[in-house]
């Protein structure tokens, strides 16, 4: 279905998603935000963000198919539940389940964390950067669980992005790995880049990006180890590649550990983002949040700590 019209003077000065929701009262703002993010709404022949302010005489072109349209009720149905650990007017901390993609990508167009965040917070999210991941300041791999930081406005997003760039955000993970590191604690300092032979993998590359991971052995037994990990940098698959490099691949991480580390029927990694600490971008308050290890860790922890 194609709609094409111009903005009248009396309607100018409001966000495009709000404007469209008023023009088409049977469609929600969430519906329009989704179409806008898919570039199905053009203004003067160019894609825009949901925050775009319409101007008098703007030419708006909207195209969608009713059979594919996603109304508000369907978005709520598709969006996974969101576990909000903390929330104020500027930031939020949420807990991502393993198996949940952070934002839409080829092969994962719905049922993402970004959808859950959008469904829960609505317009109370920053709109900097990628429209598919409004408010999301950093990411976790699909099969990793744990804490994620959300920016609820652009100012908070900018300040948090600066903090991540300066390595001022504490990110701790816990993992169950096959084998035991040679030392009880240490630093893995190895640059990472896209694997030239398999583009979906990362690997240690002399010309790659600077990457550093600190580790501490919390417990070790029966050929397994329970590790505490702290990121200095946050490269794609960083912990996974670094641990595989020291011959301690994460359990269930076949991509970097091969079939020998497969221990679960599902793809969830034995990797969890368990702690997040940062300076509040507006108040300056020091905030710290922790997340308990999911149940998939229980059996392996019992094996490690069994006396």
Q: Which of 141, 143, 253, 268 is catalytic?
A: 141
Compute the distance between CA of residue 208 and CA of residue 301 in angstroms, rounded to an integer. Answer: 34
Contact 238, 209 (CB under 8 A): no
Pick from 68, 281, 284: nearest CA to 164: 281
As given in the structure block, the two tokens for residue 18 are 């709000």
Q: Is the dihedral of CA 200, 202, 208, 210 positive or negative?
A: positive
| 141 is a catalytic site residue | yes
Name residue 119's beta-bridge partners: none
Q: DSSP string covering 221-261, please?
A: ETTEEEEEEEESS--TTHHHHHHHHTT-PBTT-HHHH-GGG
How do beta strands 271-279 and 145-151 pair?
Answer: parallel
Contact 65, 128 (CB under 8 A): no
Contact 192, 155 (CB under 8 A): no
Compute the distance between CA of residue 188 and CA of residue 213 in angstroms, rounded to an integer. Answer: 5
Q: Name residue, tokens 């104020």.
A: 88
DSSP 196: S
Q: Just list the catalytic residues.
A: 141
């Amino acid at each position: 279905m194609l709609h094409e019209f111009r903005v009248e003077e009396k309607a100018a000065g409001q966000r495009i998603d709000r404007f469209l929701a008023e023009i088409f009262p049977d469609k929600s703002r969430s519906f329009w935000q989704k179409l806008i993010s898919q570039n199905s709404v053009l203004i003067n022949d160019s894609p825009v963000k949901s925050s775009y302010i319409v101007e008098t005489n703007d030419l708006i072109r909207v195209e969608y198919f009713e059979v594919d349209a996603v109304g508000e009720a369907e978005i709520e149905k598709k969006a996974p539940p969101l576990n909000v650990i903390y929330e104020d007017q500027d930031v939020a901390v949420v807990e991502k389940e393993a198996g949940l993609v952070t934002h839409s990508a080829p092969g994962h167009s719905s049922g993402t964390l970004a959808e859950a965040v959008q469904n829960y917070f609505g317009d109370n999210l920053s709109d900097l950067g990628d429209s598919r991941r409004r408010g999301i300041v950093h990411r976790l791999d699909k099969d990793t669980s744990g804490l994620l930081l959300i920016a609820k406005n652009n100012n908070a997003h900018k300040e948090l992005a600066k903090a991540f760039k300066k390595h001022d955000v504490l990110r701790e993970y816990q993992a169950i790995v096959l084998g035991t590191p040679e030392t009880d604690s240490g630093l893995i300092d190895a640059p990472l880049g896209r694997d030239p032979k398999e583009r979906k993998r990362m690997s240690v590359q002399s010309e790659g990006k600077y990457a550093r991971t600190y580790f501490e052995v919390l417990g070790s037994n029966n050929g397994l180890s329970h590790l505490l990990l702290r990121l200095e940098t946050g490269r794609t698959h960083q912990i996974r590649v670094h641990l595989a490099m020291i011959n301690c691949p994460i359990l269930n991480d076949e991509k970097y550990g091969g079939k020998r580390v497969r221990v679960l029927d599902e793809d969830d990694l034995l990797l969890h983002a368990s702690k997040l600490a940062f300076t509040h971008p507006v108040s300056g308050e020091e905030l710290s949040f922790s997340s308990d290890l999911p149940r998939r860790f229980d059996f392996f922890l019992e094996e490690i700590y069994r006396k």
